[in-house]
Structure 1
Amino acid sequence: MQVSSPTVIGRGRETGILHEALGQVREGNGGTVFLVGDAGLGKARLFRECTDNAVRQSMVVLKGRATAAGSTVPYRPLTEALYSLIRVGGVPDDPELKPYRLALGRLIPQWRDGPLLDSDDSPVVLAESMLRLLAAVGENGGALLCLSDLHDCDTETMHILEYLVDNLEGVPVLILAGLQPVASAALRLAQSCARRRVGRVLELGPLSDAEIGELAAACLDTGAGPAAGPAGATRTAGAPGTAGAAGATDSVAEPVVQWLARTADGNPFVVEELLRGALDNGALVETDGRWQFEGGEPQYVPMALVDAVADRARGLDQRWQQALCAAAVIGRRFPGDVLRRVCDLTDAELRQLIQAGIDAQLLEASRGSSDWYRFRNAWTAEALADSMLPAEREAVAAGAADALEVLFDDLPGESCQLAAGLRLAAGDGPAAGALFARAGRRALSEGAVASAESLLDRALELLPARTHAVDRAEALTSLLYALAERGDVEQALARGAEIAGSMVLSEVRRAEVLTRLGWVCVVGGRWEQAAELVAAARRLLADPVPAEQLAMLDVVEAHLLTLGDLEGDDLAARAEELAERAARTAELVPLPTAACQARQVLALLARRRSFEDADVQLRHMLDVAERHSLSIWRLRAQTRLATNELMRTGDDGPIRQAREAAYALGAITVGCQTEASIAMQEVLYGRFDEAEAAAERLLALTTRMHQEGEAQFCLVIKIAAVAHRGRREALRTVLGEFRRRGGEQSFHAPVVFGHRAICALLGEDRPGAEAEMARVRAWERTHPTIYYQSGRYGLDLLLEVLAQRAGQDQFAEISATPASRLRWNLQFVLAAETVLLGRAGDTAAALEKMEQTRQAAAPYPMARRLILRLVAEPALAEGWGDPVAWLREAEEYFHTSDATAIAGACRALLRKAGVRVMQRRSGLDAVPEALARHGVTVREYEVLVLIGERRANPDIAKLLFISPRTVEKHVASLMDKLGKGARGELADLMADLTA
């Protein structure tokens, strides 16, 4: 009999907060609310109120629930939530979701357009994909994501939930999360979010005695059935009562309310259960419009709810009651076929049993699976399981485990963990441990690293060291892989030492463990330790060394060598020898992944000779990946080939194709990397606004995904975009953020020095540019070179030639390097050669070389004009070339680009050549309206611009070709017109205008 209140009692504050949160979502402001309370306190009712409210507002609702049985089944609540979305309307047809669809295929297998990319499916990528999907779902009116029982949630889901909670600002999604106040990752997350003010925690307490009275009146007024009172006073089930819905507790006698308050401890679910039991047994009747006890307070109703649940089960046929007890032993959620086998039921009898359980409000269908069922609450399952004798429970558990292994080949999904739990309940710890180990290895292969670690730890607790040493060693080895994937170097080394020292494993297997540990150390930056581990592994392997083992060792050692300074030929040759041997062996065995890793190292090493040689290795890598269907390695090879082409020729077509391929495969990380390379190229092409927009977008994404190196590179793009426009103040701001993120200690540092040199040149600060290039040279003397466009192999040579510190010898040395032939560098190398030829008096050769320079610089509008300005100066002074034409072109470009300093320098050189220069003082120079209103003239505005760059009066006079005294007059006039009392205030004003 259904006994429940039609309204929520005693939760007015909570419903108000939820209503307000939904309103904020409708305005585009997302958020998270955690409902924390013991079972039965009303979380489910608040969930229903919130979802009903959301549906009324035409919002999309997604629902998912964690279960105790699924606490180590990765992503279960999210999968269930997404299935609920599919059932309602399907996935939004949003083109921006295409790159994330394959990643989301880990949650919904039907969404997979191809095989999962096991090397690019990090939890962060999946979390970002989920965020993008929710944003798309909620785009037209908002969305509500309801996740229940998160105290039983798997670790992977918690990681994604934390990511979502932290990044809902501006996303029209409300996350409503329910959990019990027990120690759990969910509770820790809720508390952390409350402290950081990114989520709200609503703790549900017990109802007051008065609220219990209201609840009882509401339940009895709508749900009571025939009571065993006097015939004329008994109300028919569902008939309208005389009491109001809330506050009218006169319809319930005071002894009934006191009994409920004393027995239920303020728990509304228990109140409903007690009322249901009292009505079913005739202890509670309605007489003269008032509910009261028949024959005094019922003594048979227990103080504990479990007995009330058991009483309800006793109302069923004895066979059904026994079958439900067996189902409870299997778990709160159980497969129907397993129960059928354990209880020897026919299909028809199983359906009758399930329906009887549903009618008794003990069971319900399990979401997401038509042949699984679940008890309505944990209390019900616990009460029924506890009603059996221990020996009976063990027998049922063993039978259910047997049935699972018969029905489910290889125990897929959560059935493996369910079987492990049943073996444990049956008293067979070692068998349970073996199953937990199997589930752990499977979780690891699926990328669920945290769940794998938890399962493998459980397995090791159950596998005895004496009798199951080999099984323990295997589980420990898998655990080592999980720790390595998670990046826990310390723990991996500690557990790995235990495995490597085990005499149970063969020497080959121990060497494999040491090799894996060596790779962990490489990834963790512990290169010395990695070298020691590789050496120890080699000592364990007697001749002949297994080919596959040798290949992996060679790959790790070659990687190690590339992390050091490869300027020494012997070291470089050794690295190449190892990588080449590893590639040949891995391709022969075959070990395709190791072969790709080896070819990747060889391509890096080959760059020292030529980028064409590097391409040969990358094509080998591409061939291996294609033959063995390694999608992610194929994509990496294509991306590196496209990057080499971009650097060599300036053609960004191939890398744009690689970006589209990455997103099509769902390889978000690789896609972001290629997009960042494209954005940097946009800077070189002079498309600064597009580059900055892409950098901002990628910076937000990589910051959310905690990809610090990629985020630093996004800041490098922003630095380049402002530096290549000569915006010194903006450059200082971005450099500050770059430093705060540790950029100056990263491999990005020399590239930043190179862009700062460009900015200095645009500001006519030649000594500053030379100082930045000196920093590049100093950096590269002590660090391996991994970026070739820092200026070291192009711009630096030109500046040294202009300063007459470099001649033919230095030119020959630099021009012989492969990096000097990359197109961005080549334009400066050719310009340096132009100056050397002109200086040597070979004017015809200099002009021919200048034409080659212009052709090389064709894709780079700013760099081409910068070269013209730099080369024109010695050409004018030494009397060769066509400096006037070069300066006119440069001046026109830089003037229209608002690069005041270098445009002024071009005009000064033209005047020096005796050429009449156009006055740039009328409509061509627009004074901002805010300044024009105060009467600021064009010339005063030019002075103010240079004051904003913190220029001294003599510098301003030189750049504007006026006297220092005239500058002083303009400064005084500006201070008077703009009401400023100090020069610094003028600079601050200019900074505000250009911000």
Structure 2
Amino acid sequence: MQVSSPIVIGRAEELRLLDSALSGARAGCGGAVFMIADAGLGKSRLVQECITLATGSGMAVLRGRATQAGATVPYRPLTEALFSIVRSGAVPDDPELSPYRPALGRLIPEWRDALPYQSDDSPVVLAESVLRLLSVVGRGRGALICLSDLQDCDAETMSIVEYLVDNLADLPVVLLATVRSTPSPALTLAQSSARHRVARLLELTPLTDDQVAELTAACLGVEVPGLPPGVLPWLTQSADGNPFIVEELLRGGIDSGALARTGDGWRMVEGVPRDMPSTVASSVNDRARRLGPEWHNALQAAAIIGRRFPLDALRQVCGLGEDELHALVRAGSEAQLLAPSLSAPDWCTFRHAWTADALASGVLPAQRRMLAAAAANAVESLDPDLPGELCQLAARLRLATGDRAAAGVLYARAGRRALGEGAAASAEKLLDRALELLPADSHPDRRAEVLESLLYALTEAGDVERALRRGADLYGSVLLSPEQRAELLTRLAWVCVVGGHWEKAAEQVALARRLLTDSAAAGQLAPLDVVEAHLLTLAGSQGDDRAARAEELALRAVRTAEEVPLPTSACQGRQVLALLARRHSFDEADVHLRHMFATADAHGLPIWRLRAQIRLATNELMRTGEAEQIQLARQAALTLGAVTAAAQADATIAMQQVLYCEFEQAEALADRLLESTARMHQEGESQFCLVIKIAAQAHQGRREGMRAILAEFRRRGGEQSFHAPVVFGHRAICALLGEDRPGAEAEMARVREWERTHPTIYYQSGRYGLGVLLEVLADRAGEELLAETRAAHAAQLRWNLQFVLAAEAVLLGRTGQAVAAGAKLAEAQAAAAPFPMARHLVLRLVAEAALADRWGTPVDWLRAAEEYFHGSDVAALAGACRALLRKAGVRVMQRRSGNDAVPSQLAGKGVTAREYEVLMLLGERRANPEIAKLLFISPRTVEKHVASLMVKLDRADRKELSALVTALELS
């Protein structure tokens, strides 16, 4: 008989909190709730109640469960949860998900393309993809994702859960996770998340005696006063307030006849042991026996396989036919012992972990080993490849028979498969288990293979420290050949280079070099040469000797790698050669990048092809100031699902938007990037997002805003990063916009000092542009510096070129070559066309020198600069322009904002701020085309303003308006 309460007893406060969390998610304020309790206290019932509440309010519901089956299957709970929403057809075809679909294809097979997902994005990208999917699914209605039994889940799932917990606050999603109260990584996460106030805890306690009475009455369908005498003492003493055990005891009591229904209600029957079954184990076994000996034995065999088991394996072990197997599942389900698997129809699960444990406890040790061996044979016969969790299930069963070596081989196989699927943390766990089981004396070759795979898993998981320790073990190991150890050390060195661990990378390179003798094949040396070339290029102080050595190694590696072929090493080599070539010529760098693109394309390496495309587009953007190619590269990254690469392209675009003075767009894009990179703990990328925001503030002359972001940049270690010199360069621009020439010169000195002692990564920091102009204006440099700068290809980048040409104009004007100087400044202004702020800054800086040396049209330049900076609210620079104009003897109108700029006697006659500006220029005897140019309006508009002024001020012509201006200035 099925005995359960139709209502939830004793959990009103918990239900209130869950309802509040659901309401928050529907309002766009999501979060995480961890429900912690011992087994049987009602976690599953509360989850179901929460799902009912969510469904009733129209929310999307996703549900997944971890398993105690013993198999470390990456992402299983998430896969089940996403299946539940995909099957319902509730996932919208939203453009926001497009770049994340390839990554999500690892969890949703329906989203996998014909080609396998190929991306070197960090595992965090998958977590971000899940977050984006949940956000889209919950948009406008809210979403609930329930993940049960997280104490049993894999490390990869835990990393994504942690990511979700940290980032749900502003999304329409609530995560409900259940965790046992026994120690586990999930429990640690729940407790730490609660301490950091990013999650709430629901810690279920046993029911009180009164609540047990309510539960018992609800199960029996009576009121509390109608409960038979003796039933409550029996239940409160035996169940310890555990609702599951209360229901199990009631069911067992009814089945045994100790509790019977009569015409007058329920009564306890004398003579039948009231404490029977006194434990869940006896209750479970008693129910199984009532199904008959055959079904009882079959259920015990299933319990030996595990709480979750493949039906075909059980059929073979027990010799059941198909109809008998289905009858067993049906009978076990009716007895509330089994629950068919929704996500895998060929599998079945015991209703509760206690159920499987209770049935297995009745099997003698010898019979247990015999059943485990039969089950292992059956599992291995299902599919020779042992896909999915079958491999680990077979390993656990072999271990149960006492065959440690066979179990070790199977765990190693499962570990290598997990590594191939990108689940490095699970692979590490499985491979460690394999090493523990494989005897060192009788299986040296197998142990060597496992050690090799483990090292790859550690490096993929980013555990550089442990990988290095294992690397030291390998270095002294006799199990691997010197060539094998060198190959692994080379991989370790590359991981250290990518992670910025320069000294550790150098140590691994040195160890690998010692292992490879002079007779080593070129193909063995090429990957090591590539790593060392990157190390020489990126680490330590700058110097021609290091650069020359790096170039020599990279060229040697590329020649070998393209001949063997070793396409990945060839691409790595071309990448470092392109970086080195930029010192001399961006065109030469492009040659290497095109080779890199062709190699990647020919060998099916889409990520390396994309890297080449993005670098080519970036070079083109820096040369021409045109963003078309980088936009195309960004789209290619999104199409491929390379989220990290797309973000890098976005960062390049955002920085260029700053130079274009598209500040709002740049800061909005930088904010979006900062949000995602900070979530994904991509520190270098987050630093660069802050650089973009610093630049946006600097280029508007907003010192306080820039300083606030600089503080965050420093906190994140930015001033010790490669981004430092470009920040110094932008700070110099901010100083110039504040008329702080000494401050700007000091920042440019910092740029020069940094780049003297560090590798040059950025070429728009000012060293090849703005810094040269400032040195020439200060009369500290001349033709020698200009010649040196012009020799550098970086001086031809469009942003730098405007300043270099302006510096040449100043020198020409200083030597009396007025016509040539004017022509050169015209070239500078043409180069500066995409950069409005920089174009007008150059006019302000050069005009002062032109006034002193009497060349060009500095008054017009200052007029244009003053108008621009006044309109841009850069008061210091606008004021400096007005001061220079007055110094030049030019009448300057007083600048105020809006209608306050109009004198009261004119404002009273209806003169607008724009009309007043036109009037003041009429006082200088300016023609309409000149006024139009200075005010950035059309000549036709000037005519309209003049006509309006004549009517409002009762003047007959332009001459009388000009006279009025003189009278106003004298009054």
How does the TM-score come out when normalised to structure 1? 0.89
Distance in 2 separating the partners of 1:108 and 1:430: 35
Distance in 2 separating the partners of 1:744 and 1:569: 25
Partner of 1:363: 338
Distance in 2 separating the partners of 1:359 and 1:536: 65
Q: 2:235 matched to 1:260?
A: yes
Paired amino acid for 2:97: L
Deviation at 1:793, TM superposition (A): 0.6
Distance in 2 separating the partners of 1:498 and 1:922: 73
Partner of 2:666: 691
Partner of 1:64: 64
What SS does the aligned partner of 2:348 have? strand
Deviation at 1:659, TM superposition (A): 1.2
Partner of 2:99: 99
Partner of 2:178: 178
Q: 2:825 matched to 1:850?
A: yes
Instruction: Judge conservation of contact 2:547–2:580 (CA < 8 Å) in 1.
Output: yes
Partner of 2:45: 45
What SS does the aligned partner of 2:230 have? helix
Paired amino acid for 2:374: G
What SS does the aligned partner of 1:171 have? coil
Deviation at 1:297, TM superposition (A): 5.2
Partner of 1:220: 220
User: Any idea what the Cα deviations from partners look like across 1:637-696, whole Å, max 9, x if unmatched?
Assistant: 111111111111111111111112112222111111111110110010011111111111
Paired amino acid for 2:898: G
Deviation at 1:118, TM superposition (A): 4.7
User: Any idea what the Cα deviations from partners look like across 1:125-168, whole Å, max 9, x if unmatched?
Assistant: 11111111111111121111111111101111111111111111
Does 742-751 or 786-795 show the bigger shift?
A: 742-751
Paired amino acid for 1:461: E
Deviation at 1:922, TM superposition (A): 6.3
Deviation at 1:521, TM superposition (A): 3.5
Deviation at 1:116, TM superposition (A): 4.8
Partner of 1:163: 163
Unpaired stretches in structure 1, ≥5 consecutive residues:
222-242, 928-937, 939-995
Instruction: Judge conservation of contact 2:70–2:306 (CA < 8 Å) in 1.
Output: no
Instruction: Judge conservation of contact 1:872–1:883 (CA < 8 Å) in 2.
Output: yes
Deviation at 1:926, TM superposition (A): 7.4
Distance in 1 separating the partners of 2:110 and 2:901: 59
Q: 2:357 matched to 1:382?
A: yes
What SS does the aligned partner of 2:107 have? coil
Deviation at 1:839, TM superposition (A): 1.3
Paired amino acid for 1:736: A
Deviation at 1:569, TM superposition (A): 2.6
What SS does the aligned partner of 1:642 have? helix
Distance in 2 separating the partners of 1:906 and 1:554: 56
Identity %: 67
Deviation at 1:112, TM superposition (A): 2.1
Paired amino acid for 2:63: K
Partner of 1:295: 270
Deviation at 1:361, TM superposition (A): 1.5
Aligned pairs for 1:516-527 within 5 A: 516-527=491-502
Paired amino acid for 2:528: L
Partner of 2:855: 880
Paired amino acid for 1:470: D
User: Any idea what the Cα deviations from partners look like across 1:835-866, whole Å, max 9, x if unmatched?
Assistant: 11111222222122112111111110110111
Instruction: Judge conservation of contact 1:41–1:204 (CA < 8 Å) in 2.
Output: yes
- Cα distance change on mapping 1:117 and 1:808 into 2, 3 Å: farther
Deviation at 1:917, TM superposition (A): 2.4
Instruction: Judge conservation of contact 1:602–1:617 (CA < 8 Å) in 2.
Output: yes
Partner of 1:963: none
Deviation at 1:378, TM superposition (A): 0.8
- Cα distance change on mapping 1:66 and 1:208 into 2, 3 Å: same
1:779 to 754, 760, 767: 754
Partner of 1:348: 323
Distance in 2 separating the partners of 1:740 and 1:507: 44
Q: 2:201 matched to 1:201?
A: yes
Paired amino acid for 2:796: R
Paired amino acid for 2:447: R
Partner of 1:475: 450
Partner of 1:490: 465
Instruction: Judge conservation of contact 2:729–2:747 (CA < 8 Å) in 1.
Output: yes
Distance in 1 separating the partners of 2:226 and 2:123: 55
- Cα distance change on mapping 1:52 and 1:501 into 2, 3 Å: same
Instruction: Judge conservation of contact 1:103–1:121 (CA < 8 Å) in 2.
Output: no
Deviation at 1:507, TM superposition (A): 2.0
Q: 2:635 matched to 1:660?
A: yes
Does 271-280 or 828-837 show the bigger shift?
A: 271-280
Paired amino acid for 1:218: A
Instruction: Judge conservation of contact 2:610–2:636 (CA < 8 Å) in 1.
Output: yes
Distance in 2 separating the partners of 1:282 and 1:757: 90
- Cα distance change on mapping 1:16 and 1:254 into 2, 3 Å: farther
Deviation at 1:563, TM superposition (A): 2.1
Partner of 2:657: 682
1:906 to 869, 881, 905: 881
Does 155-164 or 918-927 show the bigger shift?
A: 918-927
Deviation at 1:366, TM superposition (A): 0.9
Does 444-453 or 546-555 show the bigger shift?
A: 546-555
Instruction: Judge conservation of contact 2:338–2:350 (CA < 8 Å) in 1.
Output: yes
Instruction: Judge conservation of contact 1:207–1:268 (CA < 8 Å) in 2.
Output: yes
Unpaired stretches in structure 2, ≥5 consecutive residues:
903-912, 914-971
Deviation at 1:526, TM superposition (A): 4.0
Deviation at 1:117, TM superposition (A): 4.7
Q: 2:728 matched to 1:765?
A: no
Instruction: Judge conservation of contact 2:252–2:277 (CA < 8 Å) in 1.
Output: no
Distance in 2 separating the partners of 1:107 and 1:680: 35
Deviation at 1:721, TM superposition (A): 0.7
Paired amino acid for 1:705: M
Q: 2:532 matched to 1:538?
A: no
Instruction: Judge conservation of contact 1:121–1:447 (CA < 8 Å) in 2.
Output: no
Paired amino acid for 1:516: R
Instruction: Judge conservation of contact 1:713–1:748 (CA < 8 Å) in 2.
Output: yes
Deviation at 1:522, TM superposition (A): 2.9
- Cα distance change on mapping 1:623 and 1:690 into 2, 3 Å: same
Distance in 1 separating the partners of 2:665 and 2:164: 28
- Cα distance change on mapping 1:339 and 1:589 into 2, 3 Å: farther
Instruction: Judge conservation of contact 2:64–2:79 (CA < 8 Å) in 1.
Output: yes
Distance in 1 separating the partners of 2:722 and 2:227: 76
Distance in 2 separating the partners of 1:326 and 1:851: 89
Distance in 1 separating the partners of 2:297 and 2:868: 89
Deviation at 1:300, TM superposition (A): 7.1
1:818 to 784, 793, 809: 793
Does 759-768 or 88-97 show the bigger shift?
A: 88-97
Deviation at 1:543, TM superposition (A): 4.8
Distance in 2 separating the partners of 1:707 and 1:528: 21
What SS does the aligned partner of 1:254 have? coil
Distance in 1 separating the partners of 2:45 and 2:483: 59
Instruction: Judge conservation of contact 1:158–1:186 (CA < 8 Å) in 2.
Output: yes
- Cα distance change on mapping 1:836 and 1:15 into 2, 3 Å: same
Aligned pairs for 1:572-651 within 5 A: 572-651=547-626
Distance in 1 separating the partners of 2:226 and 2:694: 74
Deviation at 1:567, TM superposition (A): 4.3
Instruction: Judge conservation of contact 2:249–2:278 (CA < 8 Å) in 1.
Output: no
Q: 2:439 matched to 1:439?
A: no
What SS does the aligned partner of 1:747 have? coil
What SS does the aligned partner of 2:459 have? helix
Instruction: Judge conservation of contact 1:477–1:496 (CA < 8 Å) in 2.
Output: no
Partner of 1:126: 126
1:923 to 898, 901, 905: 898
Distance in 1 separating the partners of 2:52 and 2:901: 58
What SS does the aligned partner of 2:764 have? coil
Paired amino acid for 1:815: R
Distance in 2 separating the partners of 1:121 and 1:415: 29
How does the TM-score come out when normalised to structure 2? 0.91
Distance in 1 separating the partners of 2:276 and 2:86: 44
